[in-house]
Amino acid sequence: MIRSLFLMFILITPALSQAQEPDAAAALSRSIEQLRSTLGKWDVVTDFLAPDGSVSKSVTGTYEFSWVVVDRVLTGKSVIPELDQASGILFYINDKKGFIEMVSVGADGTLWVMTGPLGEETRLTKEFPTTTGGTGQLRFTRFNVNPDAFESKMEYTEDGGQSWTAGNHQQFRRAERAENG
């Protein structure tokens, strides 16, 4: 009996891993396409949202991304002159661990790490302490993606993800088409 189960396990295991490989390959391909479509310079309008969803402030800026390692790592910079704000960005794929990640750090030295599963357009930060003594978390989602435009929304939670509140909405419009994209 045990020998039969072991033999069945040996026969089934390759079939299971082969069935999972196309999904993993498709997710990796979608993540590579995310990097490729992000490459280049973007004009960006950021609407900061009040808790009721209305726009409390709107600013314009630029994001620019270039390859460090083709199809794996982009480096970038975000500049919002009205806020006197600039941030360095690294956007990359870790296919061995199954995630796509973006990290950002500005003049205040705060490093934001946003992680999501391969092939997905949503990334989360780790929980962080809030000014009120609780914990918070940010969620970033890219949507309405086409070759020359996309949108992004940032939401936050202070209740462990039971509810999410809109924080900002960004509209990216391609300023120039990048080579090798």
Could you report the per-residue pLDDT of 1-44, keeping only the tens digit for each?
445 444 444 444 444 444 446 799 999 999 999 999 999 999 99
Over residues 71-116, the pLDDT tens digits come to 999 999 999 999 999 999 999 999 999 999 999 999 999 999 999 9
Instruction: Please give the average per-residue pLDDT across 135-158, as a whole number.
Output: 96
Structural domain of residue 48, as residue ranges? 2-176
In a domain, 181, yes or no: no
What is the model's pLDDT at position 176? 72
Q: Quick one: tokens of 66? A: 């270039």
DSSP string, 59-126: EEEEEEEEEEETTTEEEEEEEEGGGTEEEEEEEEEETTTTEEEEEEEETT-PEEEEEEETT-SEEEPP
Note whether residue 91 is domain-resident.
yes
- Percent of the chain at pLDDT above 90? 82
Residue that the structure tokens 């999501």 belong to: 116
pLDDT of 168 strictly over 70: yes
What token pair was written down for 44? 């960006």
At residue 57, the pLDDT reads: 97
- Listed in sequence order, the residues at least 6 apart from 128 whose beta carbon sits closer than 8 Å to its beta carbon are 135, 136, 137
Q: Mean of the pLDDT values across residues 118-127?
A: 96
Q: Which of 116, 87, 92 is nearest to 104 (CA)?
A: 87
Q: How confident is the model at residue 45 (pLDDT cuts 50, 70, 90)?
A: very high
Q: How many domains does the chain have?
A: 1
* pLDDT confidence of residue 9: 43
Question: At which residue do the structure tokens 């995310």 appear?
Answer: 34
pLDDT at 56: 97
Q: Return d(Cα 25, Cα 28) in angstroms, integer.
A: 5
Whether the pLDDT of residue 149 is over 50: the answer is: yes
CB neighbours of 59 closer than 8 A, spacing ≥ 6?
Answer: 45, 46, 48, 80, 82, 83
* CATH number of 42's domain: 2.40.128.20
User: What is the pLDDT of the chain when averaged over all its residues?
Assistant: 89
Return d(Cα 39, Cα 33) in angstroms, integer. Answer: 10
| Cα–Cα nearest to 146, from 36, 37, 31 | 37
User: Residue 180: what pLDDT?
Assistant: 52
For residues 53 and 67, what is the distance between their CA atoms, to the nearest angstrom? 35
Q: Does residue 21 or residue 157 have the better pLDDT? A: 157
How much is the pLDDT for 135? 95
- CA-CA distance, 76 to 66, in Å (whole number)? 6
Q: What is the pLDDT of residue 15?
A: 46
Question: Which H/E stretch holds residue 36?
Answer: helix 2-38
